[in-house]
Amino acid sequence: MKNTIKQYTSELRELLAGNVGIMALSWFLFSLASGLISPFFAKYVKDLGASDMDIAYMRSIG
């Protein structure tokens, strides 16, 4: 069991070396930031003067 975990972490380190690791880290940080902003986005856009339908369009686009 211990060797399996050790082997798995070794393979994971090897996979995440270089550009792939940087891409995975940046994806994680972007997702974290997006998750923090998302709950307040509708109120912010509403305060800027957008209608409920405008907010729905923006949410559906991404």
Q: Are 58 and 45 in contact (CB under 8 A)?
A: yes
- Do you know the residue count of the chain? 62
pLDDT 10s digits, 2-35: 678 888 888 888 887 888 888 888 999 999 988 8
Q: Are 37 and 50 in contact (CB under 8 A)?
A: no
The set of residues, in sequence order, having a beta carbon less than 8 Å from that of 59 and lying 6+ positions away, is 41, 42
> The whole model's pTM is what?
0.52
Domain count, the chain: 1
Query: Which domain covers residue 51, as residue numbers?
Result: 2-61
- Predicted confidence (pLDDT) at residue 48 exceeds the cutoff of 90: yes
Q: How much is the pLDDT for 1?
A: 65
